[in-house]
Amino acid sequence: MELSIYNINGQAVGTTVTLDDTVFGINPNDHAIYLDVKQHLANKRQGTHKTKERSEVAFSTKKIVRQKGSGGARHGSIKANIYVGGGRVFGPKPHGYGFKLNKKIKQLARRSALSYKARESAITCLEAFTLEAPRTKEFITICQNLDIADKKVLMVLPTNNDTIYLSSRNLPRTKVVPVTELTTYDIINATSLVLVGDAVDTLNKQLARQFI
């Protein structure tokens, strides 16, 4: 598959780039996408929730009533869970939610997500550019020129560029990432994928090998 390359003014520069069919043209595997997105979201969970158990509640340990003769049930401490303010039984404890996912599955998921975008004609190839200083207004102008200003945009750069990143940081529907940090979740979550400069060649080299 070949796509035309555009400049920041929204004009075709007269050259094209080839999208490797083994990366952008496979039969998407929905289950692989599901597993990769599930792992991504699970890894973002802090897992710091915690409640106090019976041994951690700050109450007296004095026996409430005598063991026998009261006519009621036996009670040893006001820390019991049946009392207001008592410890919670089987409450949540801090733990991690992350889980292992094979590298082959993650790469298959990324190729599947990219293939979906290619099938939907949601990929735009943009020639390499830079901004002299962080300017959100200039970044918005570029999106307007590419006719993607009203979409949820994911811009993939070949390398880190703080100027472009800072220019887009205030836009809630726009995300800029280097190609090394591209995730399946980001691809699926965006409605328009913009590949800048050598990002296409990097993806072709990284994901073109057939693992599964």
User: According to the model, what pLDDT value does residue 209 have?
Assistant: 62
pLDDT for 148-163, tens place per residue? 989 999 999 999 999 9
| Residue spans of the chain under pLDDT 70 | 209-212
DSSP 180: G
Backbone torsion region of residue 152, taken as left when φ is above 0, otherwise alpha when ψ lies between -120 and 50, otherwise beta: beta
User: According to the model, what pLDDT value does residue 210 have?
Assistant: 53
User: According to the model, what pLDDT value does residue 212 have?
Assistant: 45
- Give first-to-last CA distance, the chain, whole Å: 22
Distance CA 109, CA 90 (A): 37
Which residue shows structure tokens 């090394």? 180
Backbone torsion region of residue 77, taken as left when φ is above 0, otherwise alpha when ψ lies between -120 and 50, otherwise beta: beta
Please state whether beta strands 12-18 and 2-6 pair in parallel, antiparallel, or not at all (unpaired): antiparallel
In the chain, where are the structural domains located? Answer: 2-46+98-207, 51-91
User: According to the model, what pLDDT value does residue 2 have?
Assistant: 87
Q: Tell the CATH topology of 2-46+98-207.
A: Ribosomal Protein L4; Chain: A; (3.40.1370)
